[in-house]
Structure 1
């Protein structure tokens, strides 16, 4: 399998994980609503698990946005410059964002170390496992942004339809 084919599979897996995660969140939150409103009960572990799932969905969504070059960017200056200066500013901005994400990954490891020793768990899952997306997600985001800094931006314009003879 070529590198491009492997990346496509990775993209599909990432997108599938986001879809499954969001569906699971909707089902679990819906079950909580039904249980609370109609049966005056609920699942004690569901709310903390839903918070962790939101964190995972946000990090996976950020990775997908960076993959597709649709991440949030504060690039006001690049609207006033063109050509080489624009490419350089884009690269500097993306590398700065990658550095911030790398720092967040580093400090995320500290968070995991704190929770690893505590033995605390949510729904039988150790908290450090639920929070592992923080350092892993930010590290992957740093890598994606750094690589994106050296590639041309993806065009957001729709492809032109081929002309018919």
Structure 2
């Protein structure tokens, strides 16, 4: 699923860059030219929502979500594996419930047919990220569940102290150089 990983990363990069450029253009237009793009705030809000929904799945994939794992770290490997599988299964269930609810919401928005306030497109188009984002999240948690069931190292939560020590040993900053 390398293509999905790259697509996910590209979407995050494009959304962040687009939000930044659009916000910058809006500020310049407003304060330099005394002009404002009426639609800019709404588009930035939509881009931010899409960034959140794609970003939460990306965070699961690379293991950067915040969590408390004191109990799991003190368990024997077999017990920790079971707890990891149960946690991943619960996350999958939660994501699927929210995907279903998001789908129902998007279908209702489609049925009602309301346009966005400043951009002449139906509201259900940008809101389609709700079920899509939660399905992507469920897929990422499924990958975590499979890895946990196989006994592979599962990184639902990052370990900042270990990451810092690795960076110190290699002499790098962790930033793209």
What TM-score, normalized by structure 2, do the two folds share? Answer: 0.78
- Give the distance between the partners of 2:27 and 2:76, measured in 1 at CA: 52
Question: How far 1:40 moved relative to its partner?
Answer: 2.6
- Give the distance between the partners of 1:55 and 1:67, measured in 2 at CA: 19
Structure 1, unaligned runs of 5 or more: 1-6
Matched, 1:102 2:96: yes
What residue number does 2:105 align with?
111
User: Do the aligned partners of residues 103 and 76 (structure 1) sit closer, same or farther apart at CA in structure 2, a change above 3 Å counting?
Assistant: farther
> Aligned pairs, how many?
155
Structure 2, unaligned runs of 5 or more: 171-177
The 5 Å alignment of 1:25-40 reads 25-40=19-34
Matched, 1:73 2:67: yes
User: Do the aligned partners of residues 135 and 14 (structure 1) sit closer, same or farther apart at CA in structure 2, a change above 3 Å counting?
Assistant: same
Q: Does the 8 Å CA contact 1:46/1:123 hold for their aligned counterparts?
A: no
Q: 2:40 aligns with which of 39, 43, 46?
A: 46
What TM-score, normalized by structure 1, do the two folds share? Answer: 0.83
